[in-house]
Amino acid sequence: MVIAGFFFGLSQTEWIAVVIVIGAVLSAEAINSSIESLADLVSPEYNEIIKKTKDLAAGAVLIMAIAAAIVGSIIFFPKLGF
């Protein structure tokens, strides 16, 4: 997204949106990894509650990635002529 941003000459507002969504996805992934590491430390053996917690954290990352893709589409599709 960043390279495309330089190529298409994004406005300041568009850059702000791109930076926010990239930061949000990276933050969500960091939180997901932290939850998984902590859960593995607390309960190394299989635990259904921990499985659900890990699945929810991974789902949050997916939702954030989808939101980032939507924002990217809103910004870049018009620049591509769509």
What positions carry a catalytic annotation? 29
Residue 52 assigned ligand-binding role: no
14 is in an annotated binding site: no
**Closest C-alpha to 59, from 35, 23, 37:** 35
C-alpha to C-alpha distance for 23 and 12, rounded to whole angstroms: 16
Residue 51 known to bind ligand: no
| Single-letter residue type at 20 | I
**Does 55 carry a binding-site annotation?**
yes
Which token pair is 48? 């259904």
Annotated binding-site members for ATP:
36, 54-55
Annotated binding-site members for a divalent metal cation:
36
Annotated binding-site members for substrate:
29
